[in-house]
A and B are shown apart, each in its own frame.
Chain A
């Protein structure tokens, strides 16, 4: 785990578009320090695009993403991997690697693998194949893998979208633990009501056509939904 330290990621005049259609235009956003940071918005508002751009996984069409004074999109892939980990909305469904092999791919130090696996799932998953796990189990393995990557930032794109309610609860419990250990989690999700009830959120941003707005993280999530409805 990383020591809690001053970490900051910013979107400056960010343009994202697909063909002629702008998803975000001259968007500004700034997130700093450890904790859980939420990106919320309606379907198609650009949460996933913004998240992937911030993690350097999708090209941007204008402006820049700056992580601690460094341009994210001019870093090399391996340099970015040391700074930022990513959890996609669907777990891999065709990989036949064993869980321990997946964790080994990410781990900077293998002794921590059993500990992290026991924390996020169960130790006897180690020998199971990824495609034999349920979506909920596989997604928890992918989260454990992201933590083992040892980066101070973890970006998650609707990681619970395909999970049942008990799996979601388990997933958020781990997210809260990880945030408590000094990591910064940036999360695009529709599932914020449950999460807001179990942790003090570090920040909440609403992504809309008109731009990105910082909301009050201490407010009731019902108010955020009202803002979203316009």
Chain B
């Protein structure tokens, strides 16, 4: 009775991995040219795989898993099902970092842009985490995040008005959001960052569970709350910043995935939630990317953020309608 093994979870894992690999292979073999799995690989197909499809799949997997982990850990920290990197302004912070470098024409180095995006994310997270205790309801925090988004958005608009034509074009292109811009190197870097963050969060799973019992209780049980908070700031900030630099601002994925996971499983311990959220986030990103690439003879696909907002927007509304009544303690 006190064993922690759950056959349902194992089934979820098998199904999830199955869907995941089907999606990965479908992205690798289908596209503007179809690549056969069975015929020997032609040179041009090799090039397409190495320079287009594999980086794109890796970026989608890392972006989906990473943003979803950020959403999970922010929802846990705030005890708020509406938290997520895009709604709290963390993605906007990253955007501001990118805007400063790209629009002012300071550098075109990808790694400098990523560093600026990470700095922007971390700064916004510090702001949010250190004022959040003043908000008594879940929706107040959400409104604070939306206002941050407006302010940062306005700053970016001012920068755009002042920018050179080609820098502006580059920035607008980035701002539409896609998994398809990265090179093999950036995609692999992103994957490494997400694997590192996932492992770091897994090490913290007991502390995250304990945190759900309340700050005082967690502290009395040996959790160092300020260390936990700083780890969350750094991990969520670096993940959101890196992913946003590589893929553009990606809406709703971080917020929506943990809810999908909670619908799929009755497990709530972070030992299970962390890997399941990463897998589900990767699956959702790969699935959304089919909408972006277009399928079944569509002329062209839809922008990534349009696809994600079509899923994520209704998800927020559903959470607002069904869950927030529990937060008014």
Interchain CA distance A185-B210 in the complex, whole Å: 22
Name which residue of chain A comes closest to B222, CB basis: A81
Residues of A within 8 A of B224 (CB): 76-78
Interchain CA distance A135-B268 in the complex, whole Å: 20
User: Which listed segment binds A: B32-40, B41-49, B92-100, B211-219?
Assistant: B211-219
Interchain CA distance A153-B212 in the complex, whole Å: 23
What's the dominant secondary structure at chain A's contact region?
mixed
**B326: Cβ under 8 A from any A Cβ:** yes
Within 8 A of A (CB), among B280-329: 326-327, 329
Q: Is the CB of A98 within 8 A of B222?
A: no
Within 8 A of B (CB), among A87-117: 87-88, 90, 92-98, 100-102, 104-106, 110, 113-114
Interchain CA distance A94-B329 in the complex, whole Å: 9
Residues of B within 8 A of A85 (CB): 220-221
Residues of B within 8 A of A95 (CB): 212-213, 268
Residues of A within 8 A of B221 (CB): 81, 85, 105-106, 145, 149
Distance (Å) between the CB of B81 and the closest chain A CB?
9
| Known contacts A88-B217, A114-B2; A96 and B212 CB within 8 A of each other | yes
| Known contacts A88-B214, A94-B326; A105 and B2 CB within 8 A of each other | no
Name which residue of chain B comes closest to A78, CB basis: B222
Q: Is the CB of A52 within 8 A of B212?
A: no
Interchain CA distance A104-B220 in the complex, whole Å: 15
Q: Is the CB of B212 within 8 A of A84?
A: no
Which of A82, A87, A102 has the most chain B CB within a 10 Å cutoff? Answer: A102
Q: Is the CB of B268 within 8 A of A52?
A: no
**B223: Cβ under 8 A from any A Cβ:** yes
Tell me how many residues of A have a C-beta within 8 Å of chain B.
40
Name which residue of chain B comes closest to A96, CB basis: B268
Q: Is the CB of B216 within 8 A of A94?
A: no
Q: Is the CB of A129 within 8 A of B220?
A: no
Q: Is the CB of B209 within 8 A of A101?
A: yes
Number of residue pairs spanning A and B whose beta carbons lie under 8 angstroms apart? 82
**B1: Cβ under 8 A from any A Cβ:** yes
| Known contacts A95-B212, A110-B2, A126-B1; A55 and B220 CB within 8 A of each other | yes
**A31: Cβ under 8 A from any B Cβ:** no
Per-residue CB proximity of A51-63 to B under 8 Å, as 1/0? 0100101000000
Distance (Å) between the CB of A185 and the closest chain B CB?
14
Name which residue of chain B comes closest to A55, CB basis: B220
**B269: Cβ under 8 A from any A Cβ:** yes
Q: Is the CB of A88 within 8 A of B329?
A: no
Q: Is the CB of B213 within 8 A of A92?
A: yes
| Known contacts A88-B214, A105-B206, A126-B1; A94 and B220 CB within 8 A of each other | no
**B275: Cβ under 8 A from any A Cβ:** no
Partner of B220, one of A84, A96, A100, A123: A84
Residues of A within 8 A of B217 (CB): 86-88, 92, 142
Residues of B within 8 A of A15 (CB): none
Partner of A97, one of B220, B269, B329: B269
Interchain CA distance A80-B218 in the complex, whole Å: 12
Partner of A94, one of B1, B210, B212: B212
Interchain CA distance A94-B79 in the complex, whole Å: 7
Partner of A92, one of B1, B212, B222, B327: B212
Q: Is the CB of B219 within 8 A of A88?
A: no
Partner of A77, one of B1, B212, B214, B222: B222
Residues of A within 8 A of B219 (CB): 57, 77, 86
Per-residue CB proximity of B184-222 to A under 8 Å, as 1/0? 000000000000000000000010011011101101111
Distance (Å) between the CB of B106 and the closest chain A CB?
42
Which of A86, A90, A142 has the most chain B CB within a 10 Å cutoff? Answer: A86
Residues of B within 8 A of A76 (CB): 224
- CB-based closest 9 A-B pairs: A81-B222, A86-B220, A95-B212, A96-B268, A78-B222, A77-B224, A92-B213, A94-B79, A92-B214
- 16 residue pairs of the A-B complex, CB under 8 angstroms, read A78-B224, A81-B222, A84-B220, A86-B220, A88-B216, A92-B213, A93-B326, A93-B329, A94-B326, A96-B212, A97-B269, A101-B209, A105-B210, A105-B213, A110-B2, A123-B1
Residues of B within 8 A of A (CB): 1-2, 4, 79, 206, 209-210, 212-214, 216-217, 219-224, 268-269, 326-327, 329
Residues of A within 8 A of B (CB): 52, 55, 57, 76-78, 80-82, 84-88, 90, 92-98, 100-102, 104-106, 110, 113-114, 123, 126-127, 129, 131, 142, 145, 149, 155
Known: A81-B221, A81-B222, A82-B222. 12 other contacts (CB 8 A): A57-B220, A77-B223, A84-B220, A85-B221, A88-B216, A96-B212, A98-B269, A104-B4, A105-B213, A110-B2, A129-B268, A155-B220
